[in-house]
Structure 1
Amino acid sequence: MRQIISSLAIDLPSRAKALSAVETLAIGTAGGLIFLVAHLPGGLISGAMVATGIAAIAGRPLLVPPIITQTLLLLLGISIGSVVSRDLINHVSAYPVTIGLLALATFCSTFASSVYLQRIHGWDRTSAFLAGSPGALSQITILAVERGADLPAIAVVQTLRVIILTAALPLVLALAGVTSASSPAMTMAVASPLGLAAMLVGSLAVSLLLQLIKFPASWLFGAMLAAGILHGIGWVDGGLPPWMRGVALIGIGALIGSRFARMRVKTLVGHLHAGLGSFAVAVLISAVFVVVIVLSTHVRFSDTIVAFAPGAMDAMMALALTLHIDPIFVGAHHLSRFVFVTIATPGIVHLFGRPQDDVDD
């Protein structure tokens, strides 16, 4: 009971943090609208991310408080769950194969990125491995602190990976001409007021339950699950109003861009080459697996490339929604990788890593 009450407790930000949050969302909204009006790939999420990222690097104290982050993830989850249909789960039979290949791809890209950072940039083994692990950033950060790894360097590499993928993937897919097929789910009617209320209440309840059992990304996947079930059993028809989906996409973009707010320019520049190099290694290896899947299964290229992209789960899910890509397929794979990284990384670091002090000269 205490856990439930604790989950429901709202930690209100201070006045300074509230003003920073307003500034962050205002800059994100401006950037998102500019991208949308200019018909740039990625629209709202990419524009918000680029605008807040530039402002953060310029020295603005940007942030998105936890209560707003949770609300954004809840709205994103409802938007994704609302598109559940028989058409979107036609490829369920291919999931075991592609998820197995995703686990292998994750291991190979993490190992290769780690070797690159050690051999080319002289990183210690633990820092290199943690920087190369895709997703699960909060768990990676905790492990970095516990093992005495180079946290600023890891943060730069991890954040750059998310920024580049979020900005580049829409452009790559647009140039390849594989995102033109619009999903019927994206043009769905808006749910009735009762339906909207049912999705909001159900999503909040399921998310809190998942949080109590320590389920990864509980706010996002709890909302997805609740909205998906309500649509699957026919109790709710339609999704969120377009402006709510837009708020979620802008908010996620602003959240990603604001990660640069507490990062010094000197630190960013110092680890820029390492971040770009390790990103290139990870992408090349992931690309090999994407090609194998596209050639050997009936899964669409656009679905596969976003599902295998070594980026943050919330950002990739938001991209799937805005680019008319199968969010169920993408969500299943990013959740699987999140669980794989969360379970495997601590053990691998314990066996093969070593504290930073052990390698300092």
Structure 2
Amino acid sequence: MSLIPASKIPALPGRAEAFRVLETLAIGTAGGVLFLWANLPGGLISGAMIAVGGAALAGRQLTLPPVLTQTVLVLLGISLGSLVSRQLIQHMSAYPLTIGVLALATFCTTFGSSFYLQRMHRWDPTSALLAASPGALSQITMLAAEKGADVAGIAVVQTIRVIILTAALPLLLAVTGVTPGALPALPGEVASPFGLAALIAASLAAALLLRLVKFPASWMFGAMLASSVLHGTGLVEGGLPDWLRNIALVGIGALIGSRFVRIRLATLRSHVAAGLGSFAIAILISAVFVTVLLMTTDVRFADIVVAFAPGAMDAMLALALTLHIDPIFVGAHHLSRFVFVSITTPGIVHLFGRPQDDVDD
């Protein structure tokens, strides 16, 4: 006699759902391989994202199940942690200044993009503020639904920003002449079987612990923290096999592209101008702060650009991995912005957004 109620036992995926997952992975892999063959920077992520996003807009019901998403995030976290060295850890003294500047930049870009959406596209203040808030998409969406804001429009603007950044940042760094040779290199050797087992066990334990305390992006950051400690202390040498790391990069690209499944083509068309315009405003304002830091500190151009990019935390950290950028610097800044946005956005919406009474009328 079973002690577990039937309603509590997770159901096996049906044939239709399994087919959608396989189709998502096949399309993402094809796009990633094509971009990699074309020698485009960040090709695996960008190619998978664009291919899956295009298929989703064409009507394909593409999806990745939670367990596969979590696996991808853990693998990315382990790979990011394998970039950590004692030299990178020594550079952390400059973080308080740049994180402080990032908070100011986030505040300015949010209000600048919001002002644009209100004046040029006649958005209500609440929807404009939530669409302009960089990162923390799940929290922003829940707050939008609670406040009666334009959830579809906010999702389109936020998704357009992530897609453009993920595709454009590698090209920007390539055009400006930033070469991987000047950046931290991925470990050339594969960790020993014992090392791989230690990495996986420690990463899962750290991720589950952070998840228990409701830490943001717990799967990726927990794995990254555990891997960073093991590599930074020299307890583990080497990283994941290249093929496994490449699967994770294709997976995160496919995950980003699959966001378009929830967006109707008509909704996308009606909000694309707002998304592109608000993105341009955010980039222009961010560029001012990036320029100031480049002129006054010795932070590398690639590090500061990816750290200040107003995109999703998982996507930007994945780019840091594929472009061989300092993962500690990028991770610390995107985590700081996530916390800043999560804490301050409800208060900002309450003060400057549409009153809740207006929603209920």
TM-score band by shorter chain is over 0.9
Equivalent residue, structure 2, for 1:203: 203
**Change beyond 3 A, Cα 1:153–1:241:** same
Give the CA deviation at 1:325. 1.1
Equivalent residue, structure 2, for 1:252: 252
Equivalent residue, structure 2, for 1:148: 148
2: CA distance, partners of 1:168 / 1:37:
18
Aligned residues of 1:46 and 1:253 also touching (Cα < 8 A): yes
**Change beyond 3 A, Cα 1:356–1:262:** farther
**Change beyond 3 A, Cα 1:138–1:13:** farther
Could you tell me the TM-score, scaled by structure 1's length? 0.94
Cα deviation 1:129-150 (Å, max 9, x = unaligned)? 0000000000001001100000
Equivalent residue, structure 2, for 1:136: 136
Give the CA deviation at 1:353. 1.8
Aligned residues of 2:187 and 2:239 also touching (Cα < 8 A): no
Give the CA deviation at 1:75. 0.3
- Residues 9-88 of structure 1: pairs in structure 2 closer than 5 A: 13-88=13-88
Aligned residues of 1:42 and 1:322 also touching (Cα < 8 A): yes
**Change beyond 3 A, Cα 1:276–1:87:** same
2: CA distance, partners of 1:76 / 1:235:
19
Give the CA deviation at 1:65. 1.2
Give the CA deviation at 1:19. 1.6
Give the CA deviation at 1:10. 6.7
Q: What secondary structure does 1:185 align onto?
A: coil
Aligned residues of 1:35 and 1:44 also touching (Cα < 8 A): yes
**Change beyond 3 A, Cα 1:11–1:331:** farther
Give the CA deviation at 1:305. 0.3
1: CA distance, partners of 2:70 / 2:183:
27
Cα deviation 1:257-309 (Å, max 9, x = unaligned)? 11111211110000000000000000000111110111100000110000000
Cα deviation 1:332-355 (Å, max 9, x = unaligned)? 100100111111111212222226
1: CA distance, partners of 2:73 / 2:150:
29
Stretches of structure 2 that go unaligned for 5 or more consecutive residues are 1-8
1: CA distance, partners of 2:318 / 2:286:
20
Equivalent residue, structure 2, for 1:94: 94
Aligned residues of 1:148 and 1:357 also touching (Cα < 8 A): no
Aligned residues of 2:147 and 2:359 also touching (Cα < 8 A): no
Q: What secondary structure does 1:168 align onto?
A: helix
2: CA distance, partners of 1:302 / 1:11:
45
Equivalent residue, structure 1, for 2:5: none
Identity level (%): 72
1: CA distance, partners of 2:10 / 2:309:
34
Stretches of structure 1 that go unaligned for 5 or more consecutive residues are 1-8
Give the CA deviation at 1:119. 0.7
2: CA distance, partners of 1:351 / 1:329:
32
Q: How many residues align?
A: 353
Cα deviation 1:237-270 (Å, max 9, x = unaligned)? 1111111110111000000111111211110000
Q: Kindly report the root-mean-square deviation, in angstroms, between the aligned alpha carbons of the 2 structures.
A: 1.7
Equivalent residue, structure 1, for 2:212: 212
2: CA distance, partners of 1:164 / 1:272:
12
Q: What secondary structure does 2:186 align onto?
A: helix
Amino acid at match of 2:220: L
